[in-house]
A and B are shown apart, each in its own frame.
Chain A
Amino acid sequence: MSELLANDLITPDAGESPLLSLSEVSILKAAPLTRLSLRARDASLKDAGKAFGAALPVNPLLAETSKKRAALWMGPDEWTLLAPEEDCQALFTAIEEKLGDQPHSLVDISDRSEAIIVSGEKASWLLNTGIFIDFSIESFPVGTVTRTVFHKSPVMVWRTGTDTFVVEAWVSFMEYVTGLLVQSAQELEVA
């Protein structure tokens, strides 16, 4: 749990009971967040980063974090910006003003997806029941973020700690994702 608390942005939703709580792995619903999708050219990155409060990573699959901010690399010209729920309007205006007429696209996608926090020593094992990615710490170090597929649902996976992953899926797919994760975790109970 200590790793979870180290992240000031993604916090468990206090109003929700854990979807799964085993000694090896737990799944918690994350509290709502501001999510902004930014597409911009290289020349605008500095300005966008300044207005947002965290630099935009230019290296693939990386996340840059600062206090209450996270900028996630999604593609060579695409970033997802995370911030607390209440900062949405202010941030949106700040970035729009800073970028002015530089070519860019900024869209509020806060309500498109939900996040869960999968943590525990068996977290990567559990995710690997539906994701074909090597989650060893060497090839998927802490701070790596990527879009991928979980069984048949597109998801975003962000490793925030050695044994902690944030998994985002579209709202209507979340039940499918959590349902399969909880079901796969039954294997641990039997053992």
Chain B
Amino acid sequence: MLLIYCPYCDVERAETEFHCGGEAHIARPSDPSQTSEEEWVEFLYMRSNTKGVAAERWRHIHGCGRFFNAVRDTVSDKFLKFYKAGETMPDLEKISKEAGK
């Protein structure tokens, strides 16, 4: 079982308390009426499906209920960084280098 750190509760908890919310940092089109169908498709369905280091949204659903972001290596399942929602995306390349990838 994965251990996940919640930056709001400041504790590490078991995976069963959390829900994965998919790829992080996907911005909703700011003006929906001016957005083409292709752009909607891109926003709604197209994900990068990274093999390696990726930023994901997680929710501490059976805890504080908050969404936060985590950087996880999708190959080894190892978490490399946790940060609160709204914070800017960390440099994934730098993180993966530090982790020795």
User: A residues near B, CB below 8 A?
Assistant: 60-61, 74-76, 78, 132-133, 146-149, 154
| B10 on interface, CB distance cutoff 8 Å | yes
| Complex alpha-carbon distance, A81 and B8, angstroms | 20
Measured between beta carbons, the chain B residues less than 8 angstroms from A133 are 13-14
| Complex alpha-carbon distance, A147 and B60, angstroms | 10
B62 lies within 8 A of A132 (CB): no
Measured between beta carbons, the chain B residues less than 8 angstroms from A75 are 8, 63-66
Measured between beta carbons, the chain B residues less than 8 angstroms from A78 are 64-65
Measured between beta carbons, the chain B residues less than 8 angstroms from A74 are 64-65
Between A and B, 20 residue pairs with Cβ closer than 8 Å are A60-B8, A60-B10, A60-B11, A60-B64, A61-B10, A74-B65, A75-B8, A75-B63, A75-B64, A75-B66, A76-B8, A76-B64, A76-B66, A78-B64, A132-B16, A146-B11, A146-B63, A148-B13, A148-B17, A148-B63
A147 lies within 8 A of B62 (CB): yes
Given contacts A61-B9, A76-B8, contact A132 B1 (CB under 8 A): yes
| Complex alpha-carbon distance, A28 and B10, angstroms | 31
B17 lies within 8 A of A60 (CB): no
With A60-B64, A148-B17, A154-B62 given, can you name 17 additional A-B contacts, CB distance below 8 Å?
Answer: A60-B9, A60-B10, A60-B11, A75-B63, A76-B8, A76-B66, A78-B64, A78-B65, A132-B16, A133-B14, A146-B63, A147-B62, A148-B13, A148-B62, A149-B16, A149-B17, A149-B62
Given contacts A74-B64, A76-B64, A78-B65, contact A132 B8 (CB under 8 A): no
Closest 10 CB pairs of A and B: A75-B64, A132-B14, A60-B9, A149-B62, A60-B10, A75-B65, A76-B8, A154-B62, A149-B16, A147-B63
| Complex alpha-carbon distance, A146 and B12, angstroms | 12
| Complex alpha-carbon distance, A133 and B16, angstroms | 11
Measured between beta carbons, the chain A residues less than 8 angstroms from B63 are 75, 146-148
Measured between beta carbons, the chain A residues less than 8 angstroms from B8 are 60, 75-76
Measured between beta carbons, the chain B residues less than 8 angstroms from A149 are 16-17, 62
Closest residue of chain A to B14 (Cβ to Cβ) is A132
B58, chain A: closest CB distance, angstroms:
15
Measured between beta carbons, the chain A residues less than 8 angstroms from B17 are 148-149
| Complex alpha-carbon distance, A74 and B64, angstroms | 6
Measured between beta carbons, the chain B residues less than 8 angstroms from A76 are 8, 64, 66
